[in-house]
Amino acid sequence: MPKSFLLLAFLAVLQNTFAQNFQNLSFEVLESSEKALPANWVFRKEIPVAVDNAAPESGNRSVCLSGNFSGNADGYFYQKLAFHPKSAGKIRISAFMRYEQLEKGFAGLFAYSKQGARLVSSKNMYDKQLAGTAGWKRYSLEILVDPTVDTICIGGQLAAEGKIWFDRFEVEPDRSARGKTRRSARKYLSAFLDIVEENALYKDSVDFKAIKKYASQLIKGAQTTADCYPAIQYVLTKLNDHHSFFWNPDQVKAWETNQSSGNAEPTPLVYSHGRVIDGTVGYISMPFFALGDSLAQQAFADSLQNLIRSLDSEAIEGWVLDLRTNTGGNCWPMLAGIGPVLGEGVCGYFVANQARIDWSYRNGGSYSGSQLIRQAGMPYQLLKPDPKVAVLTGPQTSSSGEVVTVAFRGRPNTRSFGEPTGGYSTGNQNFKLSDGAMAFIAASVYADRDLNLYGKKIAPDEVIPIGSDGAGDPVLKRALEWLVKHK
């Protein structure tokens, strides 16, 4: 079998598309005897990478990644190609892999397509959760392309402990879509596109007519609603709001019931924690909360109010609310829980076009307009109402974490410290589709109580390099200095 492969033109599947070469897909050609790494590939320099001549799947060589990595600091290698398709379609990337003693993470193939710096489609093998030891086997994944794409990238990664070997990459158009597209699939996609067109925040800033056209091409041959999921993911990515996303029915069920989905474990409920600092400051660290289960929401809100109750005393002169690890999820238990420190009344808005809906805290409950969303079981009131509050933010503060950030903007006796937030300060509205899947679509922008609009990163009042809870934390140190100075 030859040891290099072409990226095939789409031919009958995608007409008038360039056929381009990826190079050295079986790692047979090395850059030099000194480096001893395969030519045409880019390797992350920090990782232990080796060309293995002992037992390749075929030919003379394979590539091995080994080490102890995480999703935040993984090992990887890749190859990019300039690519300009003439129509929308799918590309299949495959390779042989084997692995030994994989654990505590994920590993495998990854690929993406881009329009300049904008992502069009991406895929990795996180959902496969490879673990343990296994021999050579071919694995594959698919990415989507459309005529706006100018680059595709393929590669392998290790974000776990252990070793993984790669050999014989192949890249080709996906020819699985055969036969006539079922009417039910076309109807399903059409209903989703209607929802997007009616509600998406930035639909007028993209070429939505072209997006609909390409999405229809991407469901060619679809027989089930599930066959439409890649096209739905594509549409949400092309909106360029960086916040919209999609869940299949199993993921929705897991979210609503906090039960496992596939190989995934149930999402653990992480509670807020805190302490009293120097006898006069109540410190609260509020984490993410990403569950739709009503009982879990109640537990999160009640535990936060109980934490505030346990920290409060006549000696407390101010509060620190640390949102630096709050990556978002569900804002309503967060607002209901932090309410005693936040205070009563309207604290922000969702704004879409000329319409706006306020969010507020009243009598132990978080409200959207006049609708009570989450009520604390035993609402607490501070011994000293309307306290001074220092809010800590950072790049992980996102989405619902940014809702809480905005809720404190414009509040008297409040100041924020740290680094700008993650930039997801848009309101996602969830829409359930006919098969139980759910689309979360960015449909509004956050505004504070003074109607200042956000929508992007939120800068703190004082920008300070990020720290972590504990000794030597410059952000917390500066917040405490401000609280003491403004007693």
* Model pLDDT, residue 9: 40
Contact 241, 251 (CB under 8 A): no
* Model pLDDT, residue 177: 63
* Model pLDDT, residue 8: 38
Tokens of 133: 């030891």
* Percent of the chain as helix, strand, coil, to the nearest 5: 20, 35, 40
* Model pLDDT, residue 63: 94
* Model pLDDT, residue 47: 67
Order of strands, sheet of 414-418, starting from the edge strand that comes earlier in the sequence: 273-277, 281-285, 318-322, 388-393, 414-418, 462-463
Q: Which residue has the tokens 């000696």?
A: 315
Tokens of 220: 């060619």
Encode the chain (487 residues) as per-residue pLDDT tens digits: 333 332 334 444 343 333 358 999 999 999 876 667 899 999 986 667 888 888 899 999 999 998 877 656 678 999 999 999 988 999 999 999 999 999 878 899 999 999 999 999 999 998 888 999 999 999 999 999 999 999 999 999 998 889 999 999 999 987 766 679 999 999 999 999 999 999 999 999 999 999 999 999 999 999 999 999 999 999 999 999 999 999 999 999 988 886 655 445 556 688 999 999 999 999 999 999 988 888 999 999 999 999 999 999 999 999 999 999 999 999 999 999 999 999 999 999 999 988 999 999 999 999 999 999 999 999 999 999 999 999 999 999 999 999 999 999 999 999 999 999 999 999 999 999 999 999 999 999 999 999 999 999 999 999 997 655 555 799 999 999 999 987 6
State whether the Cα torsion 51-55-57-59 is positive or negative. Answer: positive
pTM, rounded to two decimals: 0.79
Q: Report all structural domains of the chain as residue ranges with CATH numbers, in order of start.
A: 6-173 (2.60.120.260), 183-240 (no CATH), 273-485 (3.90.226.10)
Tokens of 312: 């409060």
Name the nearest CA neighbour of 453 among 334, 339, 309, 356: 356
Name the nearest CA neighbour of 138 among 104, 168, 183, 174: 168
Contact 193, 215 (CB under 8 A): yes
Distance CA 467, CA 154 (A): 35
* Model pLDDT, residue 13: 39
* Model pLDDT, residue 265: 54
Q: Mention every residue, 6+ apart, whose C-beta is less than 8 A from residue 446.
A: 348, 349, 350, 351, 402, 403, 406, 425, 426, 427, 453, 454, 455
Q: Mention every residue, 6+ apart, whose C-beta is less than 8 A from residue 33.
A: none
In the chain, the N- to C-terminal Cα span, in Å, equals 77
Distance CA 364, CA 339 (A): 7
Q: How many CA atoms lie within 13 A of 228 on its CB side?
A: 27
Got the DSSP string for 294-332? HHHHHHHHHHHHHHHHHH--TT--EEEEE-TT---B-HH
Distance CA 280, CA 261 (A): 45
* Model pLDDT, residue 11: 40
Tokens of 483: 């609280």
Strand 245-247 relative to strand 20-21: parallel, antiparallel, unpaired? unpaired
* Model pLDDT, residue 94: 97
Distance CA 222, CA 228 (A): 7
